[in-house]
Amino acid sequence: MLWVIQAIGLTSASRRERPPAVDNVSLEACPGRVTALLGAPGAGKTTTLRLMLELQRGRGITYFAGRPLHRVEHPPREVGAVLGDVPGHPARTVRGHLRLLCAAVGVPGRRADEVLEAVGLVSLRDTRLGALPHGIDRRLGVACALLADPHTLVLDAPAHGLPVRERRWLHGTLRAHAAQGGTVLFTTRDAKEAARHADHVITLDSGRLVADQPAADFARIRLRPRVAVRSPHAARLAALLAKEARDARRPVEVVREDGNRLSVYGTACADVGETAFRHGILVHRLTEETGDMGPTTADDARPSGAPASAAPTPGDRAEPVPAAAPHAARAEASATVTPPPAATEPSHAPVTEASADRAATPVSRTAAAPPTTAAPAAAGDQPPLAPLPPLPPPITVRPARAPTYPLRYELRRAAGTGAGRRTVVAALAGSVLLSLVLARIGHTPGPSLLVAWPQELPLPPAALGAGLLGALAFGEEFRHPVLAADRGAVPRRPGLLIAKLAVAAATAVLLAVLTVGCDLEALHLLYGREVGGVPADWPSAVTSWIGLVVGCSWAGVLAAGIFRSTSAGLAAVLSVPVLVVPLVHTVQGAGARIAAGLSAQLRELAPVRLVRAVRWPFGGEEYLTAAARAVGQPVGGALLLSLAGLLGAYLLTTLRGGAR
């Protein structure tokens, strides 16, 4: 299968009666070669790529190997895209970031090390993303695009602002990918870069396609050829060349550069060399160049083994350019893009032309109109109007896909930064200090002393820490997006939510156990074994404690996923004892009676009677009864009510967002 990119009729959505940024652009990028999308800033290059990748609303269709992107089963394995900077948490390491993406795109974790070696970042594998030097982050972007070994690479201005060394590496990597049969499409604003490093150049101007031509023709027509000369007698040679041009009435222009260099326009290397030889002038350098591109030799212009099709080679006579036209000649080329045959998609065959002044010619759509036969018009009757061609299909921005391995992704996300570890350490330290202070003051029940929960605080430190850990699960996704950096929204699908809830619950249980253990050990060390004893009804206390911590972590996860903020998730956790409990008491009108008698009422319910009637193994009826009692407590009931409301809101926003 040929991995051809075919974009047909791309048109961006206009706003407030303004012309669209991209108007009916059709282009093609073939495998085995590098295609450059050239245009000045604001010409519509980035918008074209976003329309192709279905990141922006508009009209048109783009085929990747004969299929639109939304019909590709695994898009990262077919198309690797780099648009802008590399997203990710600045505290995550390079290797950790790539391993996180491995779980997202469904490739083994060892692929991260292979890509790091391919892009030359092995020595920086443990460097944090926020500490990467300028230019190296582009290598990481290319590594992210190559992670799933795609057939097609789409890059937006990948070499803009890079030093010369990084530019050479980047274009060498793109050339190597194309040499292996891949398709490469990149945008640039530099005509010389497009002519040197691409095999085919597509030019945009004001959102319209104005030229589609091979790089050799582009360099010959659009860029001005010249002969670069370096001689210790540059002034004398310049005078002789100008004199011979005047005598022969040839449009030759000689420009003195810095030092002993000359730039001769409108002639060839052979003519300049003959003039220097006849007059005995020593020449240190004599080569043909295109514009300011530098030497057009294969060693300098292209990586090893690449075809030199970007510019005329030395020895070929360039077309003379009049001296009165010191700038690049304008393009005059035509291109035809033929869509692939498809039964379900409309067919378009736009043709564009660019005149000498590069004025865009409106694209004709009559080629897409079906042939019709009409009866000859009668005398005096107006001829029937031809039917309008069908419009290109609309482009819908679809939500990003959830990770292929959501649980593996969530585990690597949680362990990839130090925020979770710092939160756990802070919660444990605060719980130990508060427990020691409460033991010093006295008048605190044993269970509350073990978890450091005085009546004056709405929640103990461990519960607040668990809520913050849960809020970070989604808060970091929205603050430092990895899954949906270009779409602006993190996919909130059930698989990802279940993975986050499972990891948050496991972390909360671990935090709850560590809290009790650390508090108990600290109390025994300072106050002896008689302080902080295990309560007699420890099953009920353990169940209530773990349920509280896990519930707080889940509330943080759901709230952060709904409101897209870590602070909103933590605020939802704090609102349970501060707002929800008093609200429940106020609405019921008998808060004291409900708080005191709900546990007794739950014992008479059918589920509780069923729990007692069935003989559960390992004493399971005690834990289930303790869980029912915990729900009957004010904080437990309010927390359960809050979780139910947050889960309903999360599912509602997921359905409204069109999650698949």
The verdict on 94 and 23 lying in the same domain is yes
Q: Cα separation of 501 and 555, whole Å?
A: 10
| Pure H helices in 452-590 | 461-479, 494-527, 538-563, 566-575, 581-588
The whole-number pLDDT of residue 256 equals 87
Whether residues 250 and 179 share a domain: the answer is no
Q: How far apart are CA 592 and CA 588, in angstroms?
A: 10
Of 207-211, 349-353, 408-412, 440-444, the least confident: 349-353
What is the residue whose two structure tokens read 């959102």? 207
123 and 247 co-located in one domain? no
The DSSP symbol for 537 reads T
Say which CATH number the domain at 261 has.
3.30.70
Helix (H, G, I), strand (E, B) or coil at 80: strand
Residue 331 lies in a domain: no
At position 63, the amino acid (one-letter code) is Y
CA distance 35 to 48: 14
One-letter amino acid at 151 equals H
Q: Quick check: 261 and 284 in contact, CB under 8 A?
A: no
Average of per-residue pLDDT across 101-124: 94
In a domain, 94, yes or no: yes
pLDDT band at 313; cut points 50, 70, 90: very low
Asked whether residue 321 is assigned to any structural domain, the reply reads no
Helices 494-527 and 406-415: angle between axes, nearest 10 degrees? 40
Q: Among 200, 220, 240, which residue terminates a domain?
A: 220
Confidence grade of residue 103 (pLDDT, cut at 50, 70, 90): very high
pLDDT, tens digit, 9 for 90 and up, residues 198-222: 999 999 999 999 999 999 888 877 7
Q: What is the pTM of this model?
A: 0.74
d(CA 502, CA 91): 24
Q: Supply angle C-alpha 528, 534, 537, rounded to 5.
A: 160
**Residue 388 and residue 75: Cα distance in Å, rounded?**
34
Question: Does residue 368 belong to any structural domain of this protein?
Answer: no
| Residue 639, in any domain of the structure | yes
Q: What is the DSSP letter of 401?
A: P
Same domain membership, residue 640 and residue 510: yes
Give the Cα separation of 17 and 236 in Å (integer). 61
For 146, the enclosing helix (H) or strand (E) is helix 136-146
Return the axis-axis angle of helices 269-278 and 234-248, rounded to nearest 10°.
Answer: 110
Regarding whether 234 and 129 lie in a shared domain, the answer is no
What is the Cα–Cα distance from 348 to 389, expressed in whole angstroms? 9
**Are 475 and 570 part of one and the same domain?**
yes
Q: Please indicate, yes or no, whether residues 216 and 243 belong to a single structural domain of this protein.
A: no
Phi, psi (degrees; rounded to nearest 5) at 558: -65, -45
Same domain, yes or no, for 197 and 281?
A: no
Domain span holding position 509: 406-656
Q: Report residue 624's pLDDT band, with 50, 70 and 90 as the boundaries.
A: low
Helices 538-563, 494-527: axis angle to 10 degrees equals 140
519-556 tens-digit pLDDT: 999 988 888 877 766 667 777 788 889 999 999 999 99
- Cα separations (Å) of 555 from 29, 451, 516, 646? 49, 20, 22, 7
CA distance 153 to 603: 64
The string of pLDDT tens digits covering residues 148-186 is 999 999 999 999 989 999 999 999 999 999 999 999 999
pLDDT, position 385 = 56
Distance CA 60, CA 273 (A): 53
